[in-house]
Structure 1
């Protein structure tokens, strides 16, 4: 139980920011015996070796004024703690760090695509009788011309070795490969994954930013990749990482024509969001993420900037009612409490106008979420709240305890709004603050609460959330809400491989969850991204560690600062 608590806390720290980093737990080094058939290209007598010692503390600095032109400049709060992509859950490694040099079998498809994923390393894929996922690889992918790979061709045994390493005991990213049995290499370009029935999240998990393919020879150098060597098959070649910046150069041998669209990346480590924003405003950064208020102010000054809102419906501030205990064992009373709450007013008054009201499920597309109109049917109706409370027959029997985790002042203010809502129904309440560790132990795991206000527990994907949090028998279903109809919908969507069919099922499931009135997310995270007018093709979507969009960016002419 203590180990699970540590995993939850580390994951929570990582999820507090799209580009945050966390402290990793070093696993026992593993050596792999998979040996791919090499196709060696001529190399210089002395090939470069990409090995370094990453620094885990960042000193706030601005990017050099000489940067610009064909160099794309952006910033993240901190560096990753090391270089081993399979030994760390933080996007500081997978999205904004060393994950930039690696490729995946699949990547997330564009938002306007009917499919959720598309091939990256693969040429094609097919499911065979619900028992196999057969993947054919591209024949034109080569490892970077750096020791110990020296530009040899990437083959199926590389992928098999990497997947086996990722799911090795103790690997923090192994759960992404749950449901995969034996991994069979059929030839240099074909592998078959044995699967335990159809799994609608399988391809999304293989497209996750943490499921990147590393080479067995690179792992064999030291038994792990904590300090490198950093050799990938992706669009970027690692150059250097220090306490202030990271440098990546364009991979001239990348297998996708025209990518990357710039010659280099320079990433500055700037912990303070205000400093990052200032650097953007004076032209030292080409793009940056910010709050809604900051975006509105910046767009007034730089109206030619490109802007995009990116939602993260699986992360944010959650409110839950314990349906297994009085008074919340009454469905009518739970619905009364929901209608006494006005989460949209709270978004404005507590959360600075940013975020969205959702059910907290990390849907792959915003169109899979219940609409705001649908969500509003369950909230912000004082008259109906009073009627439902009266119909429930529930009467006060002592103060109701609201447990709030110490995740920030806004969470405590939100707990106060819940107390106000209960007061309008004639119920007194008390607020109990607990540390984040106590919250993980008592709330996420123990379910010891009447009402809680806190951060969402970390999950990997739609089915993981539904089976662990929403299903009647879910490990983290601490509200005690149970519904045979909802359980049936959860089981059905897990095997629906057609995205349109699955979306319809998930919308139906969300209606059932909303009707149950037991938990929701009051401030699902939304991030505003802005890019200067000289950045072409700006369409960021870093959910689930996606960073392929960075390689598509190009820079127009602009005055260097």
Structure 2
């Protein structure tokens, strides 16, 4: 009966969503990915202590474990096919985390908000710019020609990192702080940086930074069409047709993983079809976008804290429940920090160059309606999140309260209010236009003279991000999911995409101070966010989220297990299915 009700609800949902104006084929932000993120000189930072994984080292050496036998078949409906199979050249999740790219390993991987070793056993920070990374001794390539199951060695790592670093791909910008990578032992590599980088391990854990066999890196035809030979938990079937087929690697180095024997990923462009496939139990998991997730959960906004989600008893009429309620099928939610809507102001032009005037603009945008006001910074830790409902945060600062009573009797202030402001909105979909229309109405109702301009994506990118010839803007942010790349690239005065066009030394100093792995980084990150909001530079009204429709066959699903940030893919190995 429950299944029949869900199918009935699906037909209602598909009719009401319509199915969401921004469908899968058109929902990607079409702005260029930065090729590099310029940084400035950074003070020397005290090295962090050695991070040794003693327990894992003991396990690898003793091998005193009980063998696990993977069982069952896991299936996923992904949004689209990758353009090709080269995991260094292509940065799409359709390849890296939902395609053949899941066959590869990395030096590190993400475990929720933490970075842990993947094919490494330990790492040592020798100085602020030097790292030594020791590899596991039990990692072997998949038994496919021409590699034939040989052992992973340091040369594979060195050649892989150099291949990424020395090319002009979007993935190359992830490793822009690397100066040199070299082999110092058969299972040990040395990394030298151009400057201190607190995000190095996060960069090495990114889904683009796959380790591939050194023999394949010299192929004249490249890796766009395979072969796909990795050391990850999944062996790719090169003869797959219409879907990507994987089998569990019997020699995988992580005991107990993957949980299932087979994994099938089917690209399905139509989101309605992906939803229906889960409800009809044809697939176990489906990816759905931000806007459809809101519709399916019947809520107005998505938040990082899932504890607020309504149960069917709290709010009758919900189409689906959040996975925290342990009712399947359910929807889990992942923030996608690399995508979002950004409202920004150009601090170098009149009348926006005055901080009090900018605050006056902010004070009319209903910012108090946000539980957590973001500057678009990718969050490495939940402790970095700035709650804007507490006493000492931006929406309750005296400066904003006073901004509502902007002194219009002052002739200089009156002239600013009377000056025409160009408001550029990027036409990246109905959601951008709707939000731009709302802000336009709020500002005109408050007495501002606004020249409202909707620009096509090419015009918007050129005027706002390249020429910086705008007053206020609303559009997608540059797709960056590494904190330092965002801070130095978008917020530092010398950044290539310094959208606010500011020349404030204090903010630059804050950004440089946070570039440390010590305990004070969290404080500096909070200070930066408060300063950006206090100066009314920019904010992110919408952070993109990825919805995951989880089917009934997934066993003991825990919310947050599937982590889509930074093109992570390890989570597929943790899922088990019922027979």
What TM-score comes out, normalization by structure 2 length?
0.78
Matched, 1:369 2:367: no
CA distance change for structure 1 residues 103 and 506 in 2, over 3 Å: closer, same or farther? Answer: same
Q: What residue number does 1:414 align with?
A: 435
Secondary structure at the counterpart of residue 134 of structure 2: strand
Q: How does 1:273-352 map to 2 (within 5 A)?
A: 273-290=271-288, 291-295=293-297, 296-299=318-321, 303-305=327-329, 307-342=331-366
Matched, 1:490 2:499: no
Q: What residue number does 1:214 align with?
A: 212
Q: What residue number does 1:541 align with?
A: 563
In 1, are the aligned partners of 2:183 and 2:189 still within 8 Å (CA)?
yes
The separation in 2 between residues aligned to 1:255 and 1:174, in whole angstroms, is 28
Greater Cα offset, 398-407 or 547-556: 398-407
Q: What residue number does 1:511 align with?
A: 530
CA distance change for structure 1 residues 231 and 162 in 2, over 3 Å: closer, same or farther? Answer: same
The separation in 1 between residues aligned to 2:557 and 2:520, in whole angstroms, is 31
Secondary structure at the counterpart of residue 192 of structure 2: strand
CA distance change for structure 1 residues 169 and 526 in 2, over 3 Å: closer, same or farther? Answer: closer
Matched, 1:480 2:501: yes
Post-superposition Cα deviations, 1:12-66, rounded to whole Å, max 9, x if no partner, equal: x999869x99999xxxxxxxxxxxxxxxxxxxxxxxxxxxxxxxxxxxxxxxxxx
C-alpha deviation, 1:229, in angstroms: 1.1
In 1, are the aligned partners of 2:337 and 2:481 still within 8 Å (CA)?
no
Matched, 1:523 2:539: no
Q: What residue number does 2:270 align with?
A: 272
CA distance change for structure 1 residues 526 and 284 in 2, over 3 Å: closer, same or farther? Answer: same
Q: How does 1:238-253 map to 2 (within 5 A)?
A: 238-240=236-238, 244-253=242-251
Q: What residue number does 1:129 align with?
A: 127
In 2, are the aligned partners of 1:389 and 1:425 still within 8 Å (CA)?
no
In 2, are the aligned partners of 1:356 and 1:524 still within 8 Å (CA)?
no
In 2, are the aligned partners of 1:14 and 1:21 still within 8 Å (CA)?
no
| Equivalent of residue 176 in structure 1, options 168, 174, 177 | 174
Matched, 1:162 2:160: yes
Secondary structure at the counterpart of residue 503 of structure 1: helix
CA distance change for structure 1 residues 246 and 102 in 2, over 3 Å: closer, same or farther? Answer: same
Matched, 1:404 2:425: yes
The separation in 1 between residues aligned to 2:536 and 2:479, in whole angstroms, is 21
Greater Cα offset, 202-211 or 396-405: 396-405
What TM-score comes out, normalization by structure 1 length?
0.80
Considering only aligned residues, what root-mean-square deviation do their CA atoms show, in Å? 3.0
CA distance change for structure 1 residues 22 and 455 in 2, over 3 Å: closer, same or farther? Answer: closer
The separation in 2 between residues aligned to 1:337 and 1:181, in whole angstroms, is 44
Q: What residue number does 2:462 align with?
A: 441
CA distance change for structure 1 residues 405 and 110 in 2, over 3 Å: closer, same or farther? Answer: closer
Instruction: Give ranges in structure 2 of 5+ residues lacking alignment.
Output: 1-22, 34-70, 298-317
The separation in 2 between residues aligned to 1:82 and 1:449, in whole angstroms, is 37
Post-superposition Cα deviations, 1:431-479, rounded to whole Å, max 9, x if no partner, equal: 2121111111111111111111111112241111111111122221232
The separation in 2 between residues aligned to 1:21 and 1:100, in whole angstroms, is 25
Q: What residue number does 2:483 align with?
A: 462
CA distance change for structure 1 residues 389 and 155 in 2, over 3 Å: closer, same or farther? Answer: farther
